[in-house]
Amino acid sequence: MATKQDVRSQRSWARIAGLMYWLVLAVDLSGMQLRSPATSKSLMLAGSVFTIPLSLGLYYALRPVQSILASTALGFRLAEAALGILSTLAGFAGVQARLSPMGLGGKLLELAHWDNRTAFGAFVFTIGSTVFFYLFVKSTYIPATLAWLGMGASMLAFSACLMHLLRPAFPAMTMYAWLPMLLGETSTGLWLIVKSLKIANRYE
């Protein structure tokens, strides 16, 4: 049974995750809208970096529900962050110039190009997101409507990304596939910031 301190820690991590949901979305959407390539890439890079505390917040908030699944989801979200950082850095001319002459650097650039072409990072994201929202469903820490919306949206985006990997002509990053994800993350993020987690007040 969780102690009072454990519950406080869970709720704090949940609020961090909620804040990071909004911060990641804000910088990513801003980066997509800006005309300046350098500023746009910098914001997209920041979004990938902020995914790390988001992932840790979700992990520590949901670990008591099922530690193995929480660890699996964390692994996928951290892999998504790493791919995002690599792909964004590879878009800077200075980074390309430094990495191209190196054997390992060339391989990293090839990986970044493949990731951008296949939206593999987005595919990895949908897996981690689906597992985390499944844990929200299982835990009843947040309203069932929010948890099921997030899980359903994650599965829809997963299906679009998987189809794109199997059939590259299929558009993965469409509004129809990702708008539910936007609604799911913003609503869940707001709930976590304001209400945090609903955990029974039973302590050792």
Question: Model confidence over 132-173: pLDDT tens digits?
Answer: 999 999 999 999 999 999 999 999 999 999 999 999 888 888
Is residue 40 situated within a structural domain?
yes
Q: What is the mean pLDDT of residues 72-80?
A: 97
Instruction: Express as a percent the part of the chain with pLDDT over 90.
Output: 62
- Count of beta carbons in the 10 Å neighbourhood of residue 106: 12
What is the DSSP secondary structure assignment for residue 167, as one 8-state letter?
Answer: S
Instruction: Express as a percent the part of the chain with pLDDT over 70.
Output: 89
Is residue 204 situated within a structural domain?
no
Instruction: Answer whether residue 204 shows pLDDT above 50.
Output: no
Is residue 199 situated within a structural domain?
no
Instruction: Answer whether residue 203 shows pLDDT above 60.
Output: no
CA distance 94 to 79: 24
Is residue 202 situated within a structural domain?
no
Is residue 132 situated within a structural domain?
yes
Q: What is the mean pLDDT of residues 177-204?
A: 87
Distance, CA of 22 to chain centre: 11
Instruction: Answer whether residue 202 shows pLDDT above 60.
Output: no
169 versus 18: which is more confidently predicted? 18
Is residue 201 situated within a structural domain?
no
Of 183, 181, 137, 185, nearest in space to 157 by CA: 181
**pLDDT at position 71:** 98
**pLDDT at position 31:** 82
Mean pLDDT, the chain, rounded, equals 88
Amino acid at 15: R
Listed range (39-43, 142-146, 156-160, 181-185) with the worst mean pLDDT: 39-43
**pLDDT at position 171:** 85
Q: What is the mean pLDDT of residues 90-96?
A: 67
Is residue 12 situated within a structural domain?
yes
- Count of beta carbons in the 10 Å neighbourhood of residue 174: 12
**pLDDT at position 40:** 84
Q: Which residue has the tokens 């997030």?
A: 150
What is the DSSP secondary structure assignment for residue 64, as one 8-state letter?
Answer: T
CA distance 162 to 157: 9
**pLDDT at position 100:** 63
**pLDDT at position 6:** 86
Is residue 131 situated within a structural domain?
yes
CA distance 91 to 194: 37
Number of domains in the chain: 1
Domain that holds residue 71: 4-194
Q: If you compute the radius of gyration of the chain from its CA atoms, what whole number of angstroms results?
A: 18
95 versus 175: which is more confidently predicted? 175
